[in-house]
Amino acid sequence: MQIVIVGVGGQGILFSSKVLGEIALRRGEKVIGSEVHGMSQRGGSVISHFKSGDHFGPLVQSGDADVLLAFDTDEAIGNVSFLRSGGTLIVNCDDPARFETGTMGEYLRDKDIKVLSVDGYGILREKMGGRFLFLNVMILGALVASDSSGISMEDMASAVMDLSPERFRDDNIKALKLGFKR
Amino acid sequence: MSERRILLGNEAIARGVVESGCAVATAYPGTPSSEILPAIAAYSDEMGTNTQVEWGANEKVALEMAIGACYAGKRSCAVMKQVGLNVAADPFMSVAHQKLDGGLLVVVSDDPGCHASQDDQDSRSYASAAKIPCFDPSDAREAKAMVADAFDLADRYGIMAMLRPTVRVDHCRQDVEIIENVVSQRDAVFDRKPAGKRIVMPAVIHGFLDDHSARFEAIRGEFGAMDRYNFEVPSEEPANLGVIACGISYSVVRDILNRLGRKDVSILKIGTPVPLPVNLVEDFVDRHDRVLVLEETQPVVEGQIPNRTAVMGRWNGWVPKTGELVPEVVESVLLRALGVKEDLSDREVFNKIEEELSPERRRPRLCPGCSHRPAYFSIRKVFPDAVVASDIGCYGLAIAQNAVDTNICMGGSVTAASGIYLAFKADGKGTDRPIFATLGDSTFFHSGMTGLATAVYNRHAFVLVILDNRITAMTGGQDHPGTGDKMRSGEEGVSVSIEEAVKGCGVKWLSVLDPYDIEKNKKTIEKAWEHASSNGEPAVIVFRHPCITMLKVKPEYRPVKVDPSVCIGCGICIRDFNCPGLVWDQATGKAMVDDRYCVNCGVCVAVCPKGAIVPEGGDR
């Protein structure tokens, strides 16, 4: 399994890759990945690579990712080249048409890439009082719903619980379920 | 007993340091190395080793502390990034030749591709210049194993050893085996005999040089036998190409060969590039018609290969001479070496997608609510034409609000301001143009103080602005002499006063301000330059406000909105204030608040010349 997670600084990307790592470790799989620190955390683009199974290097190569988790629409557009044919794009987006029309739509259909669009900010505004902090776990809920990772809701919820600071636990589980249902 | 945990490369290195019985570990934070020292503290607590962990005010200080501990017979370790090694280069080169009692390890994290650095120098070149052994890990697991071997080697030969992870090793996350067993620490002993052993004087050093060279050659032999780090992965089919791969490039090229399904390429992995086990390499080169060398960043291994007639690498331009060897680059070079044409058809599609959807490219900029933003905004407001020298730290990102003119290295803003003043002075226009130097609290202690003392001594007229956000923010929030807090809970430090240090350097005009109070601060900025220019000496402003990302108490809640009937769409708030919480509304041609990023600090109310940004009221 190879997953690329993209977004901008402050969206909780590193926490998401930690959760994925924990789940793989519990399954007894080998894990390697890479994250970006420093400058890029200050509001710039952030990217995290995650690989489980038999791999040597930490970076996912263009055209190899099974899943692209995009916390931000623009970052999804800029990084769609990571996906392999038949892969899955899960994107926080309030305008799904951007991935359905034009060259982008054509490319995704040609490559048989499944697109799952979540209006993360809209849902969080409505259901969680605009606390956008929980976007990352919501996207993980969508990942479970997409069936592209082989991760069950049970395994996901238990890893999120164990890695969350106590004060965020209940809200994280709530966000996870919101992402699963959308 | 052992256990498997997912660790960051830096955590794996830290674990290795504690398991190896290191008694004293020091560092100055710098991406990509910053997480190592705090992790050493955490593992030491977990395993009860009482390892002493200290931040030095800079890398030279950190290394010299580790050297002192080593003189007292302890295993010790200093951690820094590649640029920091330049700061520590003085003790680094001096101690290299000495015969040490304890094992001394220097961990230097390199940053090929300059993800968070001003250069991508190759620290293996420093190891080579100092003639000390260098380990070049290819993943987190190997990095941890190498720490143990580096300490062992350093101990046995009485030499300093280097571990040189690169950014992809530091920041990879991998499942790593950890053990509970620890190499037991020796008691601290300072053996005064033979006299002069640790004294760096020509007469003494002459006796060291030959011995040092002999040790270096002996280690070359040991490296030749270290088949866990230097080994061949033979091709399954007759080899059409040999690849010599170092560090992370080894991991990358193995994945690519699997991906391409090529079985006709053999690999020689080199994990100990300095001193290079030349015999191994020569034998590999002899057995292949063509050999491709993959290493970051400089051709350090390639340059040590005696016969390079069949070798392709960075010297002869087969591999790009600069930049990171990411998988896409390695695959392209590898295919070219194998005579295969690359398929570039998708690239055109991606270009077209970019053209149609033009995604926003987000460069790093100051966080919403960051106190540096109003500080720079105020300076520029008062003196739009001022020369503003900046420094290494978050505040350099104020370049996005057009507030920063220069940036050299840690502490370089103070001295650059001195130089700019002298340049104007040489033309007889010393104080015609306002000059500001800006640097952070941690940077001030790192190497700003020496520049300030020099400026006072020589009577240089400029305003030094210390942006004190009570933390080393850029690298993730490490403490420093100014915060006084230490890494371990229960360990108490002392906060060194910036004001007292400034006064101690002889500065006569000093003011401490809250950068959030833009209106009030403008007058003081004016006065500061007035003092500096009329008295021919530096004036100092300390802007003090805690880093927004590391607040210990909740800030005041001051939400704002843009009143569209007042906003004239001048764009000053977007351009000059440049907060991610304020965005341009294409539809109306006016500014608006983006609630996804706004942190409700309310500072931007003072920014709009028309008063269109207004408090919204309400409670959280």
Interval B208-243: pLDDT, tens: 889 999 999 999 999 999 999 999 999 999 999 999
* Residue of B172, B346, B367 lying closest to A32 (CB–CB): B172
Whether the per-residue pLDDT at B571 is higher than 70: the answer is: yes
* Residue B229 CB coordination number (10 Å): 19
Average pLDDT for residues B362-383, to the nearest whole number? Answer: 94
What is the chain B residue with the closest CA to A61? B327
Name the nearest CA neighbour of B162 among B274, B277, B57. Answer: B274
What is the residue extent of each domain of chain A? 2-180
CA–CA gap between residue B442 and residue A18 (Å, rounded): 30
CB contact under 8 Å between A43 and B248, yes or no, is: no
The percent of residues above 90 in pLDDT, for chain B, comes to 86
ipTM of the complex: 0.92
| List of domains in chain B | 4-184+196-225 (3.40.50.970), 231-341 (3.40.50.920), 371-544 (3.40.50.970), 560-615 (3.30.70.20)
**B228 and B122 Cβ atoms separated by less than 8 Å:** no
Residue carrying structure tokens 């109310």: B605
* Residue of B4, B174, B360 lying closest to A32 (CB–CB): B174
Residue B348 sits at φ, ψ, to 5 deg, of -65, -40
CATH class of A2-180: alpha beta
CB contact under 8 Å between B357 and A59, yes or no, is: no
| A90 DSSP 8-state letter | E
The percent of residues above 70 in pLDDT, for chain B, comes to 99
Q: Which residues of B touch A64 (CB under 8 A)?
A: 259
Average pLDDT for residues B356-380, to the nearest whole number? Answer: 92
CB contact under 8 Å between A42 and B353, yes or no, is: no
Supply A65's token pair. Answer: 């990712």
CA–CA gap between residue B168 and residue B215 (Å, rounded): 31
How many CA atoms does the CB half-sphere of B319 hold within 13 Å?
Answer: 30
Confidence of residue B550 (pLDDT cuts 50, 70, 90): confident
Residue A47, helix vs strand vs coil: strand
Name the nearest CA neighbour of B321 among B301, B344, B295, B292. Answer: B295
pLDDT at A116: 96
* Residue of A25, A32, A103 lying closest to B353 (CB–CB): A103
* Residue B412 CB coordination number (10 Å): 23
For A118, B567, B593, the CA distances from B581, given in Å and listed in that order, are: 22, 16, 6
**A166 and A174 Cβ atoms separated by less than 8 Å:** no
Confidence of residue B143 (pLDDT cuts 50, 70, 90): very high
Bigger pLDDT: B619 vs A118: A118
pLDDT at B527: 98
How many CA atoms does the CB half-sphere of B403 hold within 13 Å?
Answer: 29
User: Best of A23, A32, A132 to disrupt the B interface by mutation (most B CBs within 10 Å)?
Assistant: A32
**B65 and B24 Cβ atoms separated by less than 8 Å:** yes
Residue carrying structure tokens 């500061």: B528
Name residue B418's amino acid.
S
CA angle B158/B163/B169 to nearest 5° reads 165
Give the lowest-confidence range in A35-44, B114-123, B393-402.
A35-44
Sheet containing A2-8: order of strands: A114-118, A83-92, A65-70, A2-8, A45-52, A31-35, B172-179, B2-8
Confidence of residue B136 (pLDDT cuts 50, 70, 90): very high
Q: B570 labelled as ligand-binding? A: yes
CB contact under 8 Å between A74 and B360, yes or no, is: yes
**B111 and B31 Cβ atoms separated by less than 8 Å:** yes
* Residue of B8, B35, B364 lying closest to A43 (CB–CB): B364
pLDDT at B620: 46
For the question of whether the overall pTM of this predicted structure is more than 0.80, the answer is yes
User: Best of B7, B31, B36, B172 to disrupt the A interface by mutation (most A CBs within 10 Å)?
Assistant: B172
The contacts of residue B404 (CB under 8 Å, 6+ apart) are B376, B388, B390, B395, B396, B398, B438
10-residue mean pLDDT profile of chain A (182 residues): values are: 93 92 94 76 82 96 97 95 97 95 96 96 94 95 95 97 95 96 80
pLDDT at B207: 78
pLDDT at B596: 86
Q: Which residues of A touch B32 (CB under 8 A)?
A: 37-38
Supply B219's token pair. Answer: 């280690």
Helical (H) or strand (E) element with B103: none
CB contact under 8 Å between B173 and A21, yes or no, is: yes
Give the lowest-confidence range in B203-207, B253-257, B295-299, B503-507.
B203-207
**B580 and B365 Cβ atoms separated by less than 8 Å:** yes
Q: B579 labelled as ligand-binding? A: yes
CB contact under 8 Å between A38 and B168, yes or no, is: no
pLDDT digits (tens, 9 = 90+) for B432-444: 999 999 999 999 9
For A46, A94, B328, the CA distances from B119, given in Å and listed in that order, are: 21, 40, 22
What is the chain A residue with the closest CA to B620? A129
Q: Which residues of B touch A75 (CB under 8 A)?
A: 359, 362
Nearest 10 degrees: Cα torsion A70, A74, A78, A81: 40
Q: B409 labelled as ligand-binding? A: no
Q: Which residues of B touch A107 (CB under 8 A)?
A: 349, 353
Q: What is the mean pLDDT of chain B?
A: 94
CA–CA gap between residue B246 and residue B297 (Å, rounded): 10
CA–CA gap between residue B464 and residue A92 (Å, rounded): 44
Average pLDDT for residues B152-165, to the nearest whole number? Answer: 97
- Using left for φ > 0, alpha for ψ between -120 and 50, and beta otherwise, residue B317 falls in left
Whether the per-residue pLDDT at B366 is higher than 70: the answer is: yes
Name the nearest CA neighbour of B543 among B565, B573, B562, B520. Answer: B520
CB contact under 8 Å between B175 and A63, yes or no, is: no
pLDDT digits (tens, 9 = 90+) for B304-322: 999 999 999 999 899 999 9
Bigger pLDDT: B101 vs B496: B496
The contacts of residue A102 (CB under 8 Å, 6+ apart) are B353, B356, B357
Helical (H) or strand (E) element with B241: strand B241-246
pLDDT at A44: 79
pLDDT at A37: 59
Q: B573 labelled as ligand-binding? A: yes
* Residue B392 CB coordination number (10 Å): 24
Q: Rounded to a whole number, what is the distance in Å from the CA of A73 to chain B's nearest CA?
A: 8
The contacts of residue B192 (CB under 8 Å, 6+ apart) are none
What is the chain A residue with the closest CA to B117? A39
CB contact under 8 Å between A42 and B366, yes or no, is: yes
CA–CA gap between residue B49 and residue B25 (Å, rounded): 12
pLDDT at B193: 84
> What pairs with residue A46 in β-bridges?
A7
pLDDT at A43: 67
What is the chain B residue with the closest CA to A85? B346
Q: Rounded to a whole number, what is the distance in Å from the CA of B354 to chain A's nearest CA?
A: 7
